[in-house]
Amino acid sequence: MIVVQIITTNAIWGATVNQDGINYEVYISGTGNNAVADSAYVGNNQNYRGSIANIASSVSYEYSWSEFVGYDQYGNPKYETRTRYLTAPVKGIIDGHYNTGGSIYGAFAHCKSLSSVIIPNTVEYLGILAFAECTGITNVELGNSVTTIGMKAFLSCSNMTVINIPNSVKTIGREAFSGCTALEGTLTIPNSVTEIEHEAFYHCSNLSSVVLGNSVRTIGNFAFCGCTRLAGALTVPNSVISIGSSAFSYCSNLTSLYIPNSVDSIGLAAFEECSGLISAILPNTISIIEALTFHGCSSLNEISIPNSVKSIGYRAFEGCVGLTSIDIPNSVISIAQRAFYDCMGISKIHIGKKVSSIGQSAFYNCTPTELIWDAIYYPSGIDIDVTHIESATIGTEVQILPMYFMRSAKITEIIIPNSVSSIGREAFYNCSLIQGELVIPNSVTSIGMAAFGLCSGLTSVSMSNSIDSIGPKAFHYCSGLTRVEIDNLASWCKIKFGDYYSNPLYYARKLYLSGTEVTNLVIPSTISLINKYAFYRCSSLTDIIIPNSVTSIGDYAFYNCSNVANITCLATTPPLAQSNSFSNYSATLHVPVGSIEAYQTTSPWSNFTNIVGINEPGDVNGDGGINISDVTALIDLLLSGGEISAGADVNGDGQVNISDVTALIDRLLSGN
């Protein structure tokens, strides 16, 4: 509320003066001959019945006082009445208020007979509710000294057609012209105005354009809300620092919007239901696009979100059916619920690097065909309908592919960059149009449940060396797989498979190591545990050599390896295993000679029907002893490339090479 203080030291109010039918309150300072009428204010005129309120520039007041002139014959003081006419400039119109019960009290409030108001050049202040609900006013002339148009000064003057705001005005008060539905043409806010308060021109539905002066700093909440005929371009001057909530909402004929970089705050719903708005240029100084900012801007087909924005609010662009693409810059961290709800025209979405949260239904009923995903760390499920996506590009810094990332998309290929460490649950589930090879880069450490389920067009999988775990059904119904490619056997043995469908070998059945099909499998000597499902249904295997470093073999590790004929286990103590670790118990089991009985009496090794002894490591020539002749035999074997016996793997690393010669010589020299 704006308050004008008109009382100073030694000041009094004079009586109400009525001049030409209008009441004024005269402000007097001093006394007697020294009295001065400094100023006058239009007072209470709610009973005014005239059609024209022609406010006087000055009023005269008959000022009387008693003056001492001597003593009478009896010695008593003698006084005479003196009179002067004081003239006071009219400086303003008094503030009104709402009485108890809500009725309006204002200088001319409810004076429905008024059709015209003339404010002289002496007036600086138009008080609160001054002409509120004077529905007969059609014309107002404001003098060129007015600095403040008070709150609700012309509230609901519904027949006022024109208002010319003089270049002296600095503040247009709250609801000053609210409900002036007949105001038409161009409204010019002069360069003197610094503040347009809340609802100043609310529902001035016949205004066709507005020109904002270059000194305006703030545009209040609902300032131009409901100005439905405002048309064309709206250019916000670079003096403005804030635009209030719903400031231009329901301005349905605006077509373009320019907001300069001076603006650092745009309130919620600021341009809601501006259904004719086609393009908007936003400043790169705002950090938030508030809730409902462009809700219902159905013609909006071009919007550039500045790279200063960190969050996009609730329903910010809901119903912007004209948008064809949306680019979320790298500055954005969160996209709130329903932010782009029902933006049915969007065909391309780009998600920037810092996005870590997308609210429920943020892109509901959007059917994009292209997605560019640069979100580096996105821990939760993606809430975008990707079923129409035909092209997906994953940024080179992305670390996490979220849950449901491309579920049931129409993409035909996947390129996973070497930055990705985690592939979420059902990330590519039912991407049945993907054909050919899937390459899981070495950066990937985990693959979620059903991540590639129903990708029936995949024919091969090249696996990461860094994978720790693969969730259940990760490759369920990938029935087109024919090969699995790895380049590190030790890493493969360490993978924690969730079930047999998580292992692509279930369908591929053939394992390739560095491009060569694995038939003779030699488990590296660095392995102590062969995890469950590791070689499930690997039908390419014919021979398996398990080093003496292995102490445990998981469930189904070699289950359904139907073509295995020989299994060599070099451990002197039978490794811990389950009956389902193997299924082909008709294969010949080769074990150290001294451990045959242990294997024959230990489950599940005892299930093998043919257990035979092998030479002790170092007994290369098979004569039952270890001596210098075995060194000669080992060297001859390496030079000739002849058949390798189990005794030739002296160091137990699953391979026979020059290091075994060294190990054998060291053993002979040490006497062990």
Helix (H) or strand (E) holding 629: helix 628-640
What would the DSSP string read from start to end of 6-42? ---TTEEEEEEEEETTEEEEEEEES-GGG-EEEEEEE
Find where tokens 């006013």 sit. 137
In contact, 486 and 492? CB cutoff 8 Å: yes
Q: Alpha helix (H) ranges present in 153-219?
A: none
User: What is the rounded average pLDDT of the residues 452-480?
Assistant: 96
The percent of residues above 90 in pLDDT, for the chain, comes to 79
Instruction: Give the Cα separation of 335 and 313 in Å (integer).
Output: 6
- Cβ-proximal residues to 221 (8 Å cutoff; 6+ apart), any chain: 198, 199, 244, 245, 246, 247, 267
Model pLDDT, residue 44? 92
Task: Pick the more confident residue, 623 or 655.
Answer: 655
**Residues of each domain in the chain carrying CATH 3.80.10.10:** 412-515, 519-614
pLDDT band for position 2 (cuts 50, 70, 90): very low
Residue 651 has pLDDT above 90, yes or no: no
Residue pLDDT, tens place only, 256-275: 999 999 999 999 999 999 99
Model pLDDT, residue 98? 80
Model pLDDT, residue 8? 34
- CATH among 3.40.50.800, 3.20.20.70, 3.80.10.10, 3.30.360.10 for 412-515: 3.80.10.10
Model pLDDT, residue 13? 53
| Tokens describing residue 355 | 């996005």
Residue pLDDT, tens place only, 372-384: 999 999 988 888 8
Closest-CA residue to 362 (of 340, 342, 344, 382): 340
* Three-state DSSP state, 579: helix
User: What is the rounded average pLDDT of the residues 43-54?
Assistant: 93
| Tokens describing residue 128 | 């609160």
Instruction: Give the Cα separation of 293 and 373 in Å (integer).
Output: 25
Which of 42-46, 317-321, 326-330, 624-628 is least confident? 624-628
User: What is the rounded average pLDDT of the residues 121-125?
Assistant: 96
User: What is the rounded average pLDDT of the residues 363-373?
Assistant: 95
Residue pLDDT, tens place only, 316-351: 999 999 999 999 999 999 999 999 999 999 999 999
Neighbours of 359 (CB within 10 A): 18
Average pLDDT, the chain: 92
Residue pLDDT, tens place only, 570-615: 999 999 999 999 999 999 999 998 899 999 999 999 999 999 988 7
Instruction: Give the Cα separation of 282 and 264 in Å (integer).
Output: 10
- CATH among 3.40.630.30, 3.90.1530.10, 3.80.10.10, 3.40.250.10 for 519-614: 3.80.10.10
Which residues, in sequence order, are bridge partners of residue 600?
Answer: none
Task: Pick the more confident residue, 284 or 32.
Answer: 284
Burial 374-410 (b: 16+ CB within 10 A, else e): bbbebeebbbbbbeebeebebbeebbbbbbbbbbbbb
Model pLDDT, residue 379? 83
Residue pLDDT, tens place only, 541-557: 999 999 999 999 999 99
pLDDT band for position 632 (cuts 50, 70, 90): confident
The percent of residues above 70 in pLDDT, for the chain, comes to 96
- Cβ-proximal residues to 132 (8 Å cutoff; 6+ apart), any chain: 96, 104, 106, 109, 110, 152, 153, 154, 155, 156, 157
In contact, 393 and 414? CB cutoff 8 Å: no
Residue 184 has pLDDT above 80, yes or no: yes
Instruction: Give the Cα separation of 423 and 413 in Å (integer).
Output: 16
User: What is the rounded average pLDDT of the residues 70-81?
Assistant: 89
What would the DSSP string read from start to end of 517-552? E-SEEE--TT-SEE-TTTTTT-TT--EEEE-TT--E
User: What is the rounded average pLDDT of the residues 282-303?
Assistant: 97
In contact, 525 and 652? CB cutoff 8 Å: yes
CA distances from 244 to 199, 219, 264, 266 (A): 10, 6, 11, 6
Say which DSSP state 107 is in. Answer: S
Instruction: Give the Cα separation of 15 and 29 in Å (integer).
Output: 13
Residue 227 has pLDDT above 70, yes or no: yes
